[in-house]
Structure 1
Amino acid sequence: MPDLVTAQPVLLVGAGAMAQAYAKVLTALDAPFSVAGRGADSAGRFAQACGVTPTTGPLDAQIAAMATPPRTAIVAVSAANLSEATHTLLRGGVRRLLVEKPAALDPAGVAALAEAAAAHEAAIFVAYNRRFYASTDAARAMIAEDGGALSVKFDFTEATRRIEALDKNPVELAAWFFGNSTHVIDLAFHLAGAPAQLSAARRGALSWHPAGAIFTGHGLTADGAAASWHANWLAPGRWGVEVMTARRRLILQPLEQLFVQEHTSFAVTQAAIDDARDTAFKPGVFSQTEAFLSGAPDPRLLPIAAHAAHSAAYAVMRDGGAFGGA
């Protein structure tokens, strides 16, 4: 049992599919938790799936009714409600939070959360679970062994036909770049260094995502690696990240697997990784939750202040223009 949660249960906020994935992990970790849901229907489905019955109603009222206010929470509500729920938890006394990506649907909302965290002396981490994939761990180790990344290129093309068939909130669809594509963008800059100087262009639009449909650009990371990206939501494609070192080309496509090309060969071979956790649980979530609950520093955990800084760069990547003096 991690020391951080021995005194009282973790408050899991949300009762949907993502909250169920966290509940499965918390149960496996023997970490006590309570659940705050919203409506009776989702609470009933959660109870049937996880064996824990959530409380329901307005979140602030649920916190006020607790005998002991929670100090630690995992926020797994819908993307449109993440920011509001997190602010409510801060006001209610929660001081360590793991908030599902993207924490807020625009950079201003992320910046507001960072300011609120500082004002409340709270630690907020944004849950980009692909940082915790076994494939990412293996790639990170190879990059360090090779002396760092020289360059990175990535593709965050979205499966628009599938997305259009989903019953999604139009607000979330309009913010799909921030709410979903940043999974890939965050992973690329996590491996090669934070965005430092970027030059970006966008073209086209979709009826549900008028902010753009084709995104291209290049730049440099804080670690000195060259970065480039190309994503075309009007054409077929899939997510992918490639990191080039002095010795190897590391290919994450799909992101759950790692393929390697050595300097002396054209052959691309799949690397052996221990992905038992990623197959038994929603990929990345077990290691991510374990790291959060441990309370120990972990470079894979993304602080909200760093996410706010990155989000300013992501806004340029979506809208076009220059970031960081590029």
Structure 2
Amino acid sequence: MIKREKMKKIWLIGAGPMAQDYIKVIEALKTNFIVIGRGEETAQECEKATGCKVVIGGLDEFLDNKPEVCSHAIVSVGVEKLYQTTKELLNYGVKNILVEKPAGLHREEFEDLVQATRENDANVFVAYNRRFYASVLHAKKIIKEDGGVTSFNFEFTEWGHVIAPLKKAEGVKEKWFLGNSTHVVDLAFFLGGNPKEICSFTNGNLEWHPTSSVFSGAGKSDKNALFSYHANWESAGRWSVEMLTKEHKLILRPMEKLQIQKRGAIAQDFVEEIDYALDDSYKPGLYLQTKNFLEENTDNFCAIEDQLKMYSNYAKMAGYSN
């Protein structure tokens, strides 16, 4: 008799655009799931876009009915609610949680989630989906073949004139570096190694991000690679990551595609051999991120403990005090 694996059951918390991207992936993975939303209007928009029924009333009301605990939960709510939602799931006994970045807005929130994760013998991972881009996975392969990264640089310029009029919950735009720019920063340190030494400078300020608007710094990673970074939210620019090995410069600009420059050559060419099918069919990186999470293949993930360790660097880079 064939022993079947225990059926996975997912709770997807949230019904906004990001949750809708998750629904498309989870349906393709043919896994049982429930979507738990809060407001009726967002739920209706989600149902119209995906054809998927949404349980409304929010997580609190859902848990009041004492449902059987799920095997995995995905938290895709507003940035300001990520911490509280994840904490509620941990307290209810959920053992495997994937929470959208950055998982919290303040150091004490990360500290509390780490403690709760340990106390409940659970696993909490921060959803940095760019780690699972086809371009990034191929770059990672080349880096290994070349013997590792020797240096790297990255830019995380945000378009301040576009962000300024956005309506966000209190405190979200004030931590925009943490809530958005760390997509780039996390990816750079994921490929090149986490900072062992770092020297950071900030300048300027914006009404919606009062601590800084121009950023620069350098350091050495725990893989012995030198790195530098820059961003200017009051000027022109874009997101970019460049990794240098002894044989190649690997360019992620845009990050969805990989360009390569060989040592001794001037040309920078897009790598044609990469299969981008999954990233073209779904939100880039999301299919493999979700699949690996459900299969508990977590080597490429940012654990909540890792996010806490990195917070001191993030705060230093952005000029945050907490």
Q: What corresponds to 2:316 in structure 1?
A: 316
Task: Give, in angstroms, the shift of residue 55 of structure 1.
Answer: 1.3
What is the alpha-carbon distance in structure 1 between the residues aligned to residue 130 and residue 215 of structure 2?
Answer: 21
Whether contact under 8 Å (1:159, 1:236) holds in the other structure is yes
Partner of 1:37: 37
Provide Cα deviations, 1:257-314, integer angstroms capped at 9, x if missing partner: 1111111211111112111111110010001000000113x32111110111011111
**Number of aligned pairs?**
318
Q: Deviations over 1:231-255 (max 9, x none)?
A: 1101010000001100001110111
1:18-53 C-alpha deviation (Å, 9 max, x unpaired):
000000000011011001111111111111112222
1:284 is matched with 285
Q: In the aligned structure 2, how far is the partner of 1:11 from the partner of 1:310?
A: 28
Q: Which residue of 1 aligns with 2:90?
A: 90
Offset of residue 66 of structure 1: 4.4
Structure 2 equivalent of residue 324 of structure 1: none
- TM alignment of 1:2-151, pairs within 5 A: 6-151=6-151
Q: Look up the match of 1:233.
A: 233
Q: What is the SS of the residue equivalent to 1:175?
A: helix
Q: How far 1:163 sits from its partner (Å)? A: 1.4
Instruction: State the shift of 1:165 in Å.
Output: 3.4
Match of 1:290, as an amino acid?
Answer: K
Contact 2:211 2:320 in 1 (8 A): no
SS in 2 for 1:30: coil
TM-score (norm 1): 0.94
Q: Aligned pair 1:180/2:180, yes or no? A: yes
TM-score (norm 2): 0.95
Shift in CA distance, 91/4, structure 1 to aligned 2, threshold 3 Å? farther
* In 1: Cα distance, 2:45 partner to 2:135 partner: 32
| C-alpha separation in 1, matches of 2:194 and 2:301 | 14
User: Would you say the 8 A contact 2:8–2:31 is kept in 1?
Assistant: no
Q: Gaps (5+ residues) in structure 2? A: none
Going from structure 1 to structure 2, the CA distance change for 1:221 and 1:249 (only over 3 Å counts) comes to same
Q: Match of 2:245, as an amino acid?
A: T
Q: Distance in 1 between matches of 2:308 and 2:280?
A: 31
Unpaired segments of 5 or more residues in structure 1?
322-326
Q: Which amino acid aligns with 2:112?
A: A
Cα distance in structure 2, aligned partners of 1:67 and 1:169: 30
> C-alpha separation between the residues in 1 aligned to 2:244 and 2:8?
45
Distance 1:189 1:155 in 2: 12
Paired with 1:8 and 1:54, the residues of 2 have a C-alpha distance of: 19
Q: Partners of 1:320 and 1:90 in 2: how far apart?
A: 28
| Gap change, CA 1:91 and 1:5, over 3 Å in 2 | farther
The one-letter amino acid paired with 2:140 is R
Q: Deviations over 1:192-242 (max 9, x none)?
A: 011211110100001000010001000111111111101110101000000
Q: Residues 190-205 of structure 1: matches in 2 within 5 Å?
A: 190-205=190-205
The Cα RMSD (Å) is 1.7
Q: Match of 1:125, SS? A: strand
Distance 2:166 2:282 in 1: 23
Provide the C-alpha distance between the structure 2 equivalents of 1:111 and 1:219, rounded to a whole number of angstroms: 25
Task: Verify: 1:163 aligned to 2:149, yes or no.
Answer: no
SS in 2 for 1:171: coil
User: 1:4: how far off?
Assistant: 11
Partner amino acid, structure 2, of 1:179 = G
Aligned residues of 1:5 and 1:31 also touching (Cα < 8 A): no
Counterparts of 2:201 and 2:244 in 1: how far apart (Å)?
Answer: 23
Write the deviation string for residues 43-101 of structure 1: whole angstroms up to 9, x where unpaired.
11111112222112241230231441223100000111000000011111111000000
C-alpha distance in 2 between matches for 1:265 and 1:57? 59
Distance 1:251 1:164 in 2: 29
Tell me which amino acid in the other structure corresponds to 1:295. Answer: E
Residue 193 of structure 1 aligns to which amino acid in structure 2?
G
Q: Which position in structure 2 is the counterpart of 1:249?
A: 249
Distance 2:67 2:262 in 1: 59
CA distance in 1, matches of 2:87, 2:11: 15
Q: How many angstroms does 1:172 deviate by?
A: 1.1
